[in-house]
Every structure is written in structure tokens, then in C-alpha cells.
Structure 1
């Protein structure tokens, strides 16, 4: 475990701003992005596109040296060269969902009754239209080969580095990742951990369960893309916009969706498309985006 830096006056270390993102029309919400995608206003008509592969990834994690672990389940859909993903609560996805998605038209899945399917389909579509390239606003950050914990910590540094806050500021962390909490402490930032599951962190800190109730006591928000799939993202986006707070997203879910909302409540995104860092010990890449770049779109 890294030792925590003492809180002191000043400003947390800044990092170079990523490139500017390509705008996705006038969309300000995920629902508006879905509507534009259905209408073919963001790229090719989804009626002519078909998902070739649908699959789920289930994992249980307990990093070496850590006393607690967690489980994840992710629905992923492949459209041509692109893979879109949405995390779900383990066991929440019906057995027939994957069969329903495989071979389906993207247009139909963008209207699917299950929100995680709609999010995964939108993510695949936008990944197809706006891949994570410098031309689309992405700045890659290399994850070196290493253990799951080593790669988790490098990713956490890339995420936390997107915050620009005075030392001692308090960050709401929605979707508790212990490596992210370490990274915030190392930058002299306080945090309020929040997760729908509740419980405690690796260090025995209580985990809040109501993100919106906790947001009012925090200076900035650091939020998992999983909030797209469980329907809690929009309230947090509105809170950040209303109170002029930084909203930084770390996104395995919706890695291609959230960069399209930069400047509309989202201030920065660390996007991590499939395959995720925890699937492989080799090198990998995450892609950072930031809103408000001079000369670029928000």
C-alpha cells in the first residue's frame, strides 16, 4: 500500500490536458445520444448495422496484499471492429440476453427494454463511429505489463490526474476502487467513498450508498461509468453542471459514450474499452479526454 501524503495548503499536481474531443451534435444526455444514434444523425444508419458477437465477462478479484475483493459482470457487444460494454450487477442479466443481442440489428438494441443493453449498444455504435484516436480527442496513456494490482495503480494515477483541485479538497468517489482512493490520498485530496453495495473500504472507512446526498458535501465528483447502466449517472451530471463542479468519469462502461458529453456536465474522461486491464498481464492502454480545450469543441 502506498503511504498517504499529508494534507497541506497548495494545489494538487496538475497533468497536461488531453486533446479535445469531437462533438456529438447537440446531445446533452445519454437519452439524447440514443435518440440521435437511432436517427442515424451521429453516423451510419443503425438499421444497416448488426452485432456480430455478444458476450459477458465475469470476474472475482482479490489483489495480492489486499484484504477485500469484489466481483464484476460486463455485457459486451461487438460491431465490426468495435466492442461496446456495460457493467451490470453480478447475476442481474437474464440468461437469454446474450442470445437476444447476438446477430441483432443495432437499431433494435438501441431501443431494447433493458438499459444495460441500450448502453452497450450505444457504446459499440459510438466506438465504431468515434474510435479512441487523437483525431477524436483521445490521448493514450500506456499501462505497462504487470500484476493486476500494479496495473490498477497505474490506471488510478491516470484517472486521478484528471482532477485539478486545491490540496485538501474533498472528492466524491462513486464506485469504490481502492487504488483510486490511494491515488487521491497521494495527491493530498480527501474523499467520500460511495457505492450502492455500501460496506467499508480496504481501510475500514464507511462507504456511503446515496451518491447524490453525498455530492453536496464534496468539491468534485469522480464517478464510474457503471452509473450509466444503473440509471444514476444523469442526476450526478446535473449536479455537477448546476454547481459548476468537476465531474471526472472512469469508464469501462460507456468508454465511447461519455467523451461525447464533455462540456455538458462531464469535465474529463478516462476511457478504457474492452479488453480491460484486469483481463491480461500484458501492456494496455487507457484514453484520456478533457473538456474546454482552446480551439476545440467542448
Structure 2
């Protein structure tokens, strides 16, 4: 199992700087992105009240693919073309945060792939319909939470299958998403996650927080209040394990291709603080007041 002495990252900006300086692996200016693409999805499951849209920017570096979800239509014209053929260093300093996150994810996936040697615990998402596979993933994610029935979980980035799974375990859910709206139960979805941290026993958050700039404030607030923070990550699946022990308790990492792209079996990877993640981080550390 990997046992380096490097401490966990203090914030996303620091991690990007470390990658740019070549402190996390090979000189990023020598690594080229061969393919850049977006995946656009619309879903409406049978029996569910509403549907949703996803759009993901993905960058191919050798055998690795790094991804960052974006709001549908948010990427400016030419952004994908600009990424193809660019070196990783250029993209780590790109003006668009989602491009920086996708580039960092590709680089770290290449440097520290999701294997047991790097602390990953593989979990199979069995073949099935999109809804069946969504529910299977929700079970794998929820298993990372250490909250007893009757407890309350702040969910940042509303995914209906996760809400159903948490409720089935006797947990109360505080839903939060920048899009707002209502849940399938008619409950209002809050838009300010930081307000909910003081009213929960644990936080379950989407990797999309990396791409919209809300991850570091959320992580710092959860860490300061001693609230466990579990991340489920299609965005930044190789980035978020770097924060284990620095406010992140566990990560369910799901690199491309995602469960919703086909009906066959697939693998997701779970990490827990103290279980020998990418940098063999400690199980917990005191809040250090770090800033982004």
C-alpha cells in the first residue's frame, strides 16, 4: 500500500499549484491531452416525478480520463477544441475552473490510478437499467456514512436515488443544490449548504462542488464543526481522495465511464481516511483554518 509522507492537500488551489510545479508527478508541461469531449445526458426514470440534465467535460491523458461536470450549455464555444492537444500545465492554469479541475483529475488519475495500492476499494455496480444501477451506486455511497437511524444528513447536490436510499435507512435528509427546486417529496431544496452544516450529523456532497467553486468553503466548514464529509465523485474522482484527513472522511470515486452511460457492470472505488489513500493520510487532523 502506498505510504508516502506527503500531507493531504490544504485546498484545491494549493493542489493545482503543486501539480503545476511537478510536485505530484511528471512535469505537466510534457504531458499532452489527446482527446477532449463533453457528454450530455437527459434522464427521466419511470416512477420519478422529474428528470434532470447532466453535462460533463472530459480530458484524455494517455490511459486516464479526467472529468468535471458543468451546467448544461455553460462551456463557451471553442473550449473543448482548445483543450485537445494542449499540455496539462496549460490547462491547470486555464481561466475556466472546470477545465482546471478536469485537467487535474486526468493528471492525478494517471499518476495515482484507482487501485488498491493507492487505497481504493473496488465495488461492482451490477448490470441493469439506469435506475437499478443508480440505486446500486447510491447503496455504495451511503455505506460510507457512519450515521445511525434517526440522524440527519446534509446532501449537497441532490440525486434522487441517494435521497431514497438515505430515507430507507431511517435518516433525515436536508437537501441542498444550487439549482434549488423541490424534492420528490415536495420539500424545498436549499441553495446555501453552509447554513445546513450546523443542523446535520454528516455531510454527503457531490464532486460537482469542485467545479463550481463551493468545495473548499464546504470542506472547511464541515472540518471546523467536526462534521464527517463524504464525497461522491464523478467530477474529480482522483482529486478528492487527496483531501482525505483534511476535512474529507471518505470518497466514492467514479471515473469515466459513468454508471449512466451503459447497462453493463462497472466499478466504482471507495476511499476512507486512514485506509492508505493516495498519500497515506491520517484518519483525522485538527482544523487548521486553511484557506483556498
User: Is 1:158 equivalent to 2:140 in the alignment?
Assistant: yes
**In 2, distance between residues paired with 1:165 and 1:176?**
19
Determine the structure 2 residue equivalent to 1:111: 93
**In 2, distance between residues paired with 1:234 and 1:21?**
25
Cα gap change, 1:167/1:23 in structure 2, threshold over 3 Å: closer, same or farther?
farther
**In 1, distance between residues paired with 2:226 and 2:276?**
19
The secondary structure found in structure 2 opposite 1:216 is helix
Determine the structure 1 residue equivalent to 2:119: 137
Alignment of 1:196-207 (within 5 A): 196-207=178-189
Residue number among 257, 271, 274 corresponding to 2:253 in the alignment: 271
CA contact (8 A) 2:8 2:245 kept: no
Uncovered stretches (5+) of structure 1, i.e. residues with no partner = 1-18
Alpha-carbon distance, 1:29 to partner? 1.1
Cα gap change, 1:74/1:148 in structure 2, threshold over 3 Å: closer, same or farther?
same
Alpha-carbon distance, 1:239 to partner? 0.9
TM-score (norm 2): 0.93
Residue number among 27, 36, 40 corresponding to 2:22 in the alignment: 40
The secondary structure found in structure 1 opposite 2:270 is strand
User: Is 1:89 equivalent to 2:89 in the alignment?
Assistant: no
Alpha-carbon distance, 1:51 to partner? 0.2
RMSD over aligned Cα atoms: 1.6
Alpha-carbon distance, 1:25 to partner? 4.3
1:20-61 Cα offsets, whole Å, 9 max, x none, are 897754522111110110000010000100000000000001
State which drifts further: 61-70 or 131-140: 61-70
Cα gap change, 1:247/1:94 in structure 2, threshold over 3 Å: closer, same or farther?
same
1:229-268 Cα offsets, whole Å, 9 max, x none, are 0000111100111011110000000000000110000000
User: Is 1:251 equivalent to 2:233 in the alignment?
Assistant: yes
